[in-house]
Structure 1
Amino acid sequence: FRRFGDAGVDDAEVSVREHRSVLTAIAEADPAAARAAMADHVRAVTERALELP
């Protein structure tokens, strides 16, 4: 979010949900789910960044 903030990205709510999924998986001691949630987040934030004008 901070990386693209100056470019007009306003995805804080979505990003927080994605990070919460990662945190939940870590808290549940589920490394596979944490890895998948983080990969999903990185993929999604990249896609959102590519949608910038």
Structure 2
Amino acid sequence: MSESDGEQAARSVALEQAYVHEVYEQCAEKTAQSRHWPKIYKFLEELEPGALVCDI
């Protein structure tokens, strides 16, 4: 059984929240003075839903 487009988009959003936003928030607590979160947030907000990003 394959996922519908809506299910796949919802899964992508959930994965992004868990593995991008939450990780950055955890890191931000330790590096608040050098954090670039506003620029990263703006960049991520401008992406199409389901877009892939590689964080190195």
Q: TM-score range by the shorter chain?
A: 0.3 to 0.5
TM-score under structure 2 normalisation?
A: 0.44
Structure with greater proportional helix content: 1
Higher Rg: 2
Q: TM-score, normalised by structure 1?
A: 0.46
Higher relative contact order (CA 8 A, sep 6+): 2
